């Protein structure tokens, strides 16, 4: 819990305006910890410790921040510090910052860059948002296939200062055509006069710069790559996606999927720093759609109002049945959305998945029906309990089947399967589940 105290301490130092104390705290903590504390403060407070950082650590801390917080810090800096910071950033981080910043900051940022850095940034900004091109680094050491290991190591040594990573080295043939990669560890290990060709992994995966960045990150995870080679449409090498960006992409994608699963849009930036209004806005759209969709349940209830008036006891089990149906449907939907995200299930598995989940639904339904029968019998008698228990089985089969098919159908239609959120499934299952319940009630009770 020492970590928790640190944040409190920094806040206290800032409040007391104890500049020496702040400097000591900063010197004692690694950049990612400092960035974490800054992200929890409002922008006016965060700028105080940021300005007290050494020049070289300033950049390290800055690069650990989200684009949202980077913008806030930038706004608080004088022109010279502003431009210096941007000039020294990694081109991919800079492109993302500029791509997400308001036009005013973006223009000011681009204007201050040296021609070389501006060109590199402009090239990255030319790729579509959320594509690999936006996240890759063009600053790499490229080796020609015909080099020897000794010569290759010389190239690495000479050029490594400009490169973001030298652990996975792209190897190219003439015309910058991608020929595979070689690991720095293999170079270090090999004899100097070994031909580089012998060490190249030619089957190593590569991606196009225009492909979705999330897919590329998941590929790195699957294939255990510390860096993934990115090529253009003519198979020419253009950059590397590095593991730290992949980790960030996967965390962001998972956060997004998790938010979507609860029917909310993802909120960029730190939770603590997000305003009440921004949080509400991220959740409002789906809630509005869902409450309108829930009108269906009112309609179904209204259609069976006569039945309800005859047997009021039926109403008692409505929340339990809609709740259970929603739970079973959400479980199936959540499982399939995740299986799709990590690549375990594909669209063509739809019939198999539906059949499997309907059987899972039956098993769960049969088990829950026993409980419902017991509870129902104790509270309102065996006949109504039988209606409830039969409904539980049918609703569970239905909920599991529909909950599992919807994400696959969404993917087939080209929509992010994560929009098939638990609340969406619950709401749909609520209305159809009530239909099932009242139909069964009428059949068994002969009304």
Site for a second copy in 38-97 (CB under 8 A): 64
Q: Contacting a second copy (CB under 8 A), which of 52, 258, 268, 409?
A: 258
- Whether 49 contacts 40, CB under 8 Å: no
Cα→Cα distances 140→86, 159, 227, 230, 364, Å: 19, 8, 11, 11, 54
Q: Which is nearer to a second copy, 109 or 345 (CB)?
A: 345
Structure-block tokens of residue 425: 């499934």
The single residue among 70, 137, 165, 229 that binds a second copy, judged by CB under 8 A, is 165
C-alpha–C-alpha distance, residues 381 and 258, integer Å: 42
Q: Which stretch binds a second copy (CB under 8 A): 70-78, 89-97, 129-137, 270-278?
A: 270-278
CB of 81 vs a second copy, minimal distance in Å = 23
Window 280 to 319, contacts with a second copy (CB under 8 A)? 280, 283-284, 286-288, 290-292, 294-295, 297-298, 301-302, 305, 308-309, 312, 315-319
Minimum gap (Å) between residue 48 Cβ and a second copy: 21
Q: What is the dihedral of CA 23, 25, 28, 31, to 10 degrees?
A: -80
Among 15, 79, 277, 446, contact with a second copy (rule: CB under 8 A)? 277
- Shortest gap between Cβ of 126 and a second copy (angstroms)? 26
Shortest distance (Å) from residue 303 CB to a second copy:
10
Q: State the distance between the two ends of the chain, measured CA to CA, in whole angstroms.
A: 64
The DSSP code sequence of 189-205 is HS-TTSBGGGG-BTT--
Residue 443 as a binder of a second copy (CB under 8 A): the answer is no
Site for a second copy in 225-254 (CB under 8 A): 226, 243-244, 246-248, 250-251, 254
User: Which listed residue (109, 136, 216, 364) binds a second copy by CB under 8 A?
Assistant: 364
How many residues line the site for a second copy (CB under 8 A)?
118
Report the chain's C-alpha Rg in angstroms. 29
Q: 148: which DSSP letter?
A: B
Is beta strand 143-144 parallel, antiparallel or unpaired with respect to 168-172?
Answer: parallel
* Stretch near a second copy under the rule CB under 8 A, chosen from 46-54, 111-119, 122-130, 421-429: 421-429
Q: Of 47, 166, 182, 441, which one interacts with a second copy (CB under 8 A)?
A: 166
Own/partner long-range contacts of 32-36 (Cβ < 8 Å, ≥24 apart): 32/64, 33/3, 33/6, 34/61, 34/64, 35/61, 35/62, 35/64, 35/65, 36/64
Q: Is residue 226 helix, strand or coil? A: coil
Residue 15 structure tokens: 């409040």
Task: Considering the complex, state which of residue 114 and residue 302 has its C-beta at the smaller distance from a second copy.
Answer: 302
């Amino acid at each position: 819990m020492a970590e928790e105290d640190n944040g409190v301490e920094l806040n206290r130092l800032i409040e007391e305006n104890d500049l020496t104390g702040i400097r000591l705290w900063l010197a004692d903590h690694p950049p990612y910890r400092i960035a974490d504390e800054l992200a929890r403060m409002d922008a006016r407070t965060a700028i105080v410790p940021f300005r007290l950082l050494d020049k070289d650590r300033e950049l390290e801390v800055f690069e650990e921040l989200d684009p949202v917080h980077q913008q806030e810090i930038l706004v608080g800096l004088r022109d010279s510090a502003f431009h210096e910071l941007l000039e020294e950033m990694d081109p991919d981080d800079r492109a993302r910052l500029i791509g997400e910043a308001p036009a005013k900051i973006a223009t000011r940022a681009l204007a201050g860059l040296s021609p070389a850095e501006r060109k590199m940034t402009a090239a990255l900004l030319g790729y579509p948002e959320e594509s690999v091109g936006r996240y890759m680094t063009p600053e790499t050491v490229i080796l020609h296939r015909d080099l020897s290991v000794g010569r290759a190591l010389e190239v690495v040594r000479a050029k490594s200062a400009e490169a973001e990573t030298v652990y996975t080295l792209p190897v190219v043939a003439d015309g910058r055509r991608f020929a595979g990669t070689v690991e720095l560890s293999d170079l270090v290990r090999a004899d100097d006069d070994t031909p580089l060709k012998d060490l190249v992994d030619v089957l190593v995966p590569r991606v196009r710069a225009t492909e979705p960045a999330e897919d590329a990150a998941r590929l790195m995870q699957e294939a255990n790559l510390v860096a993934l080679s990115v090529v253009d449409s003519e198979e020419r090498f253009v950059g590397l996606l590095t593991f730290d960006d992949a980790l960030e992409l996967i965390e962001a994608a998972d956060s997004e999927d998790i938010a979507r699963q609860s029917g909310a849009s993802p909120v960029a930036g730190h939770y603590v720093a997000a305003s009440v209004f921004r949080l509400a806005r991220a959740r409002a759209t789906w809630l509005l759609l869902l409450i309108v969709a829930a009108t269906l349940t009112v309609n179904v209830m209204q259609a069976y109002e006569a039945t309800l008036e005859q047997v009021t006891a039926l109403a008692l089990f409505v929340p339990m049945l809609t709740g259970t149906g929603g739970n079973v449907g959400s479980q199936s939907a959540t499982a399939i959305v995740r299986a799709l995200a990590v690549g375990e299930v594909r669209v063509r598995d739809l019939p198999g998945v539906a059949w499997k989940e309907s059987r899972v639904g039956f098993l769960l339904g049969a088990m829950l029906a026993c409980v419902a029968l017991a509870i129902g019998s104790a509270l309102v008698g065996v006949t109504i309990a039988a209606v409830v228990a039969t409904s539980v089985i049918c609703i569970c089969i239905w909920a599991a089947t529909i909950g599992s098919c919807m994400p696959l159908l969404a993917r087939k239609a080209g929509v992010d399967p994560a929009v098939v959120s638990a609340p969406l499934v619950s709401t749909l299952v609520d209305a159809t589940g009530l239909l099932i319940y009242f139909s069964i009630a009428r059949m068994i009770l002969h009304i």
